[in-house]
Amino acid sequence: MNLLGKVFNKILGDAAAIETRLGIPSRDGAEAERRAQRMFMMTGGRGFRVYPNEPRVYADGKTRGQKKRAARAVALAKEVERQQAEADKLIDYGISKVEAYARFGSLS
């Protein structure tokens, strides 16, 4: 019977299990270096970073961001038009142009 071989293999197996598990803190710098080397070998040196995809382009040829910017521009133009109409009503009531425009953020 080769008891020394079994014990030696068990110790090596336990050490290998400790070195390959990621959640256990390392005891010394050499162990940290071995783990870093193992991670390098597992990922082929590329690391675990997943780069973002290109933005989706819809059937009309625009991305989501371009659609949002266009919708925002239309909404802002409508709001300026509404504020202009309100300011014109105030001017008709006799309020000065400066005071009427000062009541609205986009017109002042």
Structural domain contains residue 98 = yes
Give me the pLDDT at residue 79, please: 92
Structural domain contains residue 51 = no
Give me the pLDDT at residue 85, please: 93
Query: Model-level pTM?
Result: 0.48
Task: State whether 69 and 98 are in the same domain.
Answer: yes
Structural domain contains residue 23 = yes
Q: Residue 98's domain spans which residues?
A: 64-102
pLDDT: which is higher, 57 or 27: 57
- Sequence letter at residue 58: Y
Cβ–Cβ under 8 Å, residues 19 and 38: yes
Structural domain contains residue 76 = yes
Cβ–Cβ under 8 Å, residues 107 and 81: no
20 Cβ contact list (under 8 Å, min separation 6): 38
Average pLDDT over every residue of 59-84: 95
- CA 9 centroid distance within chain: 46
Token couple for 87: 């300011």
Give me the pLDDT at residue 26, please: 63
Structural domain contains residue 107 = no
